[in-house]
Amino acid sequence: MNRLTAAALLLIASALPTAAQSWPDRPVKLIVPFGAGGSADTLARVVAEHLSATFKQQFVVENRTGAGGAIGAAAIAAAAPDGTTIGITNLSILALVPAINPAVTYHPIDGFTHIAYLAGAPVALSATSQSSIKTLKDFIDTGKKSDKPLTFASSGVGSDGHLMGVAISLATGVPLEHVPYRSTSQAMTDVVAGHVTLSTFTLSSSAQFLRGGQFNGLALTSPERMPDQPEIPTFKELGYPALVGTTWFSLSGPPKLSAEIADKLNAEVTRIVTLPEVQSRFRRDGFITQPMSAAAFTKYVGDEVARWKPLVEQAGLAGKGG
């Protein structure tokens, strides 16, 4: 074997797919299926910064927006499983959009390698302070007596807030009329002014209005009361155990990603989300963390898909977004 062949072989060998042991030897792309500046984007940037520091390799955030996150999610699912592309997924992308829109090209469970649960945001059922509704009991009494259904605002048809509203309506037996909005801020303006009675936005979106007294917090969907809003009860303690659930954000990769890479990432993300500075940030933003292994999180996704499907059907949305 002459030197030229040796050099060529060496070249070929170095071009072979990355072995998991040496991962990451190239920059990793972190796809965010939502716009810059939103919750998903902020989370992604926090995680990317810490991952870059730990693995001594750049984790580059790339926003691939569109179709309620379906475009970015499809890009994650279609990437090569070599560990150079991962992305942010969430409740909506995995459990809601596929149930609503049969045309999505990815499967919520088999279409990905689910890596880790990042953070969840509980929904705060709140009423405008212009109304006399101050507690969940007021809400049920008023709602059942009213000749017109009470209205609730959310960030759009098929959004987590919309379906949470449907779930609340089903569990409490109070008829509700959904008023969708394109922008959270416009929705909040209308609830503050009393044009819409209720809000099912996340606690993070509602917190400033709860603090400012423009919203009355009725109940939270978190498993326990939140440290910064100790006065707001949970649905669970008020006797509605079915209304426990959060909108959540997670880290996923393309299918057939090596278990070794997924576990490495899972361990690191679990460490990152429990760092004191990240925790204090999460607390301020109304996020809660639930560390779980990659396998446990994959099961969690399956449970959530099964849980929300009937609600999507109940809301008359199944197969709508074609």
Does 267 contact other proteins by CB under 8 A? no
Give the whole-angstrom CA distance, residue 169 versus residue 240. Answer: 12
Helices of type H across 107-156: 136-145
Does 45 contact other proteins by CB under 8 A? no
Looking at residues 90 to 119 of the shown chain, list those that interact with other proteins (rule: CB under 8 A). 100-101
* Interface residue with other proteins, options 6, 7, 25, 35 (CB under 8 A): 35
Does 5 contact other proteins by CB under 8 A? no
Give the whole-angstrom CA distance, residue 280 versus residue 277. Answer: 5
With contacts defined by CB under 8 A, name the span among 16-24, 175-183, 249-257, 283-291 that binds other proteins: 175-183
**Torsion 317-97-321-106 (CA) sign:** negative
Measured from the CB atom, the residue of 80 and 193 that comes closer to other proteins is 193
What letter represents residue 7's amino acid?
A: A
Measured from the CB atom, the residue of 100 and 124 that comes closer to other proteins is 100
Measured from the CB atom, the residue of 66 and 291 that comes closer to other proteins is 66
Does 37 contact other proteins by CB under 8 A? yes
Give the whole-angstrom CA distance, residue 91 versus residue 247. Answer: 6
* Interface residue with other proteins, options 23, 117, 181, 282 (CB under 8 A): 181
Measured from the CB atom, the residue of 180 and 223 that comes closer to other proteins is 180
Query: Which residue shows structure tokens 């605002």?
Result: 153
Measured from the CB atom, the residue of 241 and 319 that comes closer to other proteins is 319
Give the whole-angstrom CA distance, residue 205 versus residue 187. Answer: 11
Instruction: Give residues with Cβ within 8 angstroms of 79, minimum separation 6.
Output: 29, 31, 85, 253, 254
Measured from the CB atom, the residue of 263 and 285 that comes closer to other proteins is 285
Site string for other proteins, 184-223 (x = CB under 8 A): xxx-xxx-xx-xx---------------------------
Residue 90 and residue 300 in contact, taking contact as beta carbons nearer than 8 Å:
no
Q: What is the tally of helices (H) and strands (E) in the chain?
A: 12, 10
Give the whole-angstrom CA distance, residue 167 versus residue 310. Answer: 10
**Residue 115: φ, ψ to 5°:** -105, -55
Give the whole-angstrom CA distance, residue 14 versus residue 95. Answer: 40
Give the whole-angstrom CA distance, residue 107 versus residue 98. Answer: 8
Site string for other proteins, 61-90 (x = CB under 8 A): -xxxxxxx-xx-------------------
Does 314 contact other proteins by CB under 8 A? no
Measured from the CB atom, the residue of 52 and 151 that comes closer to other proteins is 151
* Interface residue with other proteins, options 83, 98, 120, 158 (CB under 8 A): 158
Decide: helix, strand or coil at residue 307.
helix
Query: Which residue shows structure tokens 């150079």?
Result: 84
* Interface residue with other proteins, options 8, 9, 19, 36 (CB under 8 A): 36
Which residues contact other proteins (rule: CB under 8 A)?
35-38, 62-68, 70-71, 100-101, 148, 151, 156-158, 177, 179-186, 188-190, 192-193, 195-196, 317, 320-322
